[in-house]
Chain A
């Protein structure tokens, strides 16, 4: 959580210094969701993410060096400077991608769930096939309260429920879709209730409590792994900042912001760890320092990475790019 927080804070600073072009949607305040959920996942699990994806990618093992390099539009970035913040993906890490389209990742996770279900068959009939290793895999899709109004959300829940796919739909309800508060974009309070339309479980977690998220997602993952089908998990949380860097978020009532800043997931977890004598102040400080150090090196790495050569724009359109050129 600290790594995500500091990664994001630095990204904002670096953007203001001109290192990062394009959009940046900070995840600050929501760290407990990514960390709690990804802690419940194993090496054969997959996630799809959103426009607010840095936290999910880091929690899934993303390397800050390649992430910053991508944000800086440098060659060593995860997407070779073609994707940027909105599109970071790395299949090896089980990250099917952040997404610039609201709701875009949800059906893709259903497809991943279908592949994972099939892996169970492959494991039975062709145990040597490398895909058989994914036989216990689950697919997780993160999305926002706003995205739950998209057709793609409803179609995906229905399909995954129908086919009992190992998919966990994680709605991060941060109370806003862009500048619009939840009560102005939907009549329900709990998005989890939408699960009942598809006869699947709809669970609610305290999205600012990393342990609660872990507990609820673990339960959903266990069900999915056992072939009991999908779960919709709603995590109640809040984004501390505006919708994107540059948006001041003034459309939010001051008391609301103050309430949620008090419920900061990192502050609370720290308190818990200290109160339970699970960690000492010194250990937490050492952790902070380790994070600082890691990010320091990541930023240096990204700065040292060269920009792409302009002609690289023509590469990567297809697997075979006919002499490196985009097809006529």
Chain B
């Protein structure tokens, strides 16, 4: 899908600015929408995303909270149940662990347990991934945990345009949505459509780069790395299609299928540890549902099964870099079992 309707003016914004713009537009559109989070008011958030919003919308709508993650998420849920939409911020997604009861046992299940009679429309914005030596308690990529909990939608925004469009959809969505933002993307720039209604629907993936030999699935900070790897591989004569799922739940099976129909080969990248990462789910979907399209075994390129170490040397070893991504693609090209010559 194309993110930018041609009629709309394109401007280049940072990822952080795009998120802020989405918040501003939605708060203006819906005067009942509230923001909740630690240090989101006067200081404008640790990453500057909510800068200026307190001044603009007042302390009644931009609620700076004490350090009390469980109460913050429970409060957002309670307000949402009474029809007051909220966007709650967890400063580092690692701290979502303190709010797990409210996210997993309460928010995720409310609609189901009430037989569909009650829904909980709120968004939890979470900052994920490592930013370099942020170490084990500030660097985790926990998205797969939440995808394993039915009742939660999980968004991973990888570009400024996606961040804006997906956050707006998340806010208007009738269910609880977890919105993952990567620390290292906040300063990245890209074209972002203007306009209140520049929504990107949840559940639609995006071809970030066209190619014909291999489908390389990547999201969050692995997306720019995958794009660079694809660029390098083009020089070796390998045409890589980079595909960003944009949302993990709901997952765009049709989009993945379309890409595999072109390429027949699949490499999946994630920053999170390999074991039980969302890569495994994507690989399983492809193997179960699209096996006839595959010309080679699927390859996962992931973080190691370790906590995130502090030392930069160790961290570089843990997280996939361009070279490891490229190596994964080359391996899949080599291992083609049903390539033109073989079958």
Do the beta carbons of B310 and A81 come within 8 Å of each other?
Answer: yes
Do the beta carbons of A178 and B135 come within 8 Å of each other?
Answer: no
Q: Mark B32-64, 1 if CB is under 8 A from A, else 0.
A: 000000110011001000000000000000001
Q: Which of A120-128, A129-137, A147-155 contacts B (4 or more CB under 8 A)?
A: A147-155
- A21 at interface by CB-CB < 8 Å: yes
- A65 at interface by CB-CB < 8 Å: no
CA distance A308 to B135 in the complex (A): 15
- B187 at interface by CB-CB < 8 Å: no
B38 contacts which chain A residues (CB < 8 A)? 178, 180
Number of A residues whose C-beta is below 8 Å from B? Answer: 45
Q: Mark A267-279, 1 if CB is under 8 A from B, else 0.
A: 0000000000000
A104 contacts which chain B residues (CB < 8 A)? 137
CB distance from A143 to the nearest CB of B (A): 10
- B234 at interface by CB-CB < 8 Å: no
Do the beta carbons of A178 and B311 come within 8 Å of each other?
Answer: no
CA distance A103 to B135 in the complex (A): 18
Inter-chain CB contacts under 8 Å: number: 133
Q: Which residue among B67, B97, B312 has the maximum number of chain A CB atoms within 10 Å of its CB? A: B67
A310 contacts which chain B residues (CB < 8 A)? 313-314, 316-317
CA distance A313 to B309 in the complex (A): 7
- B292 at interface by CB-CB < 8 Å: no
Among A179, A307, A311, which residue has its beta carbon within 8 angstroms of that of B42?
A: A179
Q: Mark A299-322, 1 if CB is under 8 A from B, else 0.
A: 000000001111111100100000
Tell me whether A326 and B310 are in contact in the complex, defined as CB-CB below 8 angstroms, given that A23-B138, A100-B137, A101-B95 are known contacts: no
CA distance A73 to B70 in the complex (A): 33
A184 contacts which chain B residues (CB < 8 A)? 64
CA distance A251 to B42 in the complex (A): 9
Do the beta carbons of B135 and A328 come within 8 Å of each other?
Answer: no
- A185 at interface by CB-CB < 8 Å: yes
Listed by A's residue number, 19 A-B pairs whose Cβ atoms lie within 8 Å are A23-B138, A73-B314, A82-B307, A84-B135, A86-B137, A86-B138, A87-B136, A100-B138, A150-B68, A150-B69, A180-B64, A185-B66, A185-B67, A186-B66, A251-B42, A251-B43, A308-B311, A308-B313, A309-B313
- B275 at interface by CB-CB < 8 Å: yes
CA distance A328 to B302 in the complex (A): 12
